[in-house]
Chain A
């Protein structure tokens, strides 16, 4: 059983993002973490291997060399192998390119299960996992909240949709995305983290996986022209008075604002 976990290193909530060159570029503070949903995907990959008592978990990420940190953490969490696909991206602007790289990697490595977070926390596109399933011709199951069983090439699981929860039987290989509730990612032990330091993490160049043409096409179709800050909000106006007066004033203000 070969399980691939696609993970992405993203800035954490506290990381500051500032504009450069009058909006032509941005600078992101280097406070990294494995994306919230990716961590669940990786954790589930490791748990599947533990439950089955066999298998190999491979963690892979597309990014620059700083992402090796996240891959090392993946080893500490329980991945058997980790690999970086080095590509300057930026990955948060080019999901098709990222998915082509990941799909090519998956084809070379082989897989029974591909697990990823339902969306990345930097771009929130939520498109790469399905794009990869389309490129590989695999069934795609989003928002997996629980994996019940794996028998041969059949997996039963729960998949959350907007208004319902579906119990599904899925034929492997398949691409699954992790939804909140799937698991609580473990915190690797100190000894596991130390052992992970010694592990070799190969770095593959993007053009070793796909052609130069394939690497360049999305950048030829989409171009960032301007970065903007969010519109500012004025300082809060506190409403005073008795509780009744406060509510009355609030309703009046909301009516005046045209939102009620």
Chain B
């Protein structure tokens, strides 16, 4: 075996996370290249179901019972190295979740290997491996040719999830990570855990200032719920206190790339569009025909969102039943 591809994956809501499944599906394509083994480190609290699924995507799975949100980042590499048994590790992959980016940044410095963050594509050309990532809020993309070993964090919704059947083994022993004595957790305030994160959602419905009041977002929640989607908000809506910052989509918020994005009462300023324009289909619902969002949309409805959305909710309810 030439070497390993180490993958850091996360459990979320008792299952292997969508973002992680995408990376695992990608890594499988590299395995065909040379004699590469896939070593998967799976982080989470409820690992049983996730482990079962993880086995299909790796040669060896190391379960790590730890809260991905609070684990000690610098204790991960020693754990990984233990399970490499001296074999070289050519790639360190993960999705671009906040945890994973921190993890790979740390490992990159510790091992003096480069780290390509926010990759959206990967290809092999003439025996070289290249990664594509956005720059300047997605105004331009760059293909980077990289030498191994290296670390790469991939954005969500950039690769289809494939079913692989590697039938890997799960390491028996319990892996514990050290606590960081320099950082003490005094309090934990859980947020309303969303079924799917904005970055991983296939369907995103976003409300702008046109929603006017916080409670009007309930309608968007109901629509999203029908299709297993997520609800976002424009910067204007967040700054006006209609939604919390973690729902913000845009340059200073989250970048989403769903199959369909619906902007309701969102004007479509450039800083918002930057967080949205890799969506497959963009739909705008706005009563102002001149709203900039129509310049960036595939489909548009010029109408009162309070008229349209209840009808949309019923239509999706019917569709899914």
Q: Is the CB of A243 within 8 A of B307?
A: yes
In the assembled complex, the Cα of A181 lies from the Cα of B271 at a distance in Å of: 18
Is A26 part of the binding interface, using a Cβ–Cβ cutoff of 8 Å?
yes
Whether B32 sits at the interface, judged by CB under 8 Å, is no
Judging by beta carbons under 8 Å apart, are B130 and A222 in contact? no
B252 & A247 in contact (Cβ 8 Å cutoff): no
Contact pattern, A 168-199, Cβ under 8 Å of B = 1, otherwise 0: 11110010000111000000000000000000
Most buried by B among A167, A222, A237: A222
Chain B neighbourhood of A259, CB < 8 A:
202-203, 259-260, 280-281
Given contacts A93-B142, A140-B73, A230-B139, list 10 more A-B pairs with CB under 8 A: A14-B270, A19-B140, A123-B133, A140-B102, A140-B106, A167-B185, A179-B245, A181-B245, A227-B142, A228-B143
Nearest A residue to B191, CB-CB: A163
The answer to whether residues A244 and B311 also contact, given A36-B252, A170-B183, A226-B142 and a CB cut-off of 8 A, is: yes
- Among the listed B108, B138, B297, which residue makes an inter-chain contact with A230, where contact means beta carbons less than 8 Å apart? B138
Q: Which 10 residue pairs are nearest across A and B when measured between Cβ atoms?
A: A167-B187, A134-B109, A130-B105, A259-B259, A125-B117, A161-B69, A127-B105, A171-B182, A139-B182, A259-B260
Cβ contacts A to B, 15 pairs, < 8 Å: A96-B114, A96-B115, A140-B73, A141-B183, A161-B69, A166-B69, A167-B188, A218-B114, A221-B146, A227-B143, A234-B298, A236-B294, A247-B315, A250-B283, A259-B259
Is B58 part of the binding interface, using a Cβ–Cβ cutoff of 8 Å? no
Contact mask for chain A residues 215-243; partner B; CB cutoff 8 A; 1 contact, 0 none: 00110111111111110011011110001
Interface-centre pick from B99, B135, B281 (highest chain A CB count, 10 A)? B135
Residues of chain A whose beta carbon lies under 8 Å from any beta carbon of chain B: 11, 13-17, 19, 26, 28, 36-37, 92-93, 95-96, 99, 121-135, 139-143, 156, 160-171, 174, 179-181, 217-218, 220-230, 233-234, 236-239, 243-244, 246-248, 250-251, 253-255, 257-260
Chain A residue numbers with a CB within 8 Å of B186 are 156, 167-169
> How far is A220 from B188 in the complex, measured between Cα atoms in Å?
43
Judge whether A134 and B105 touch: CB under 8 Å: yes
User: B308 contacts which chain A residues (CB < 8 A)?
Assistant: 243, 246-247
Which residues on B sit within 8 Å (CB–CB) of A251? 312, 315-316, 319
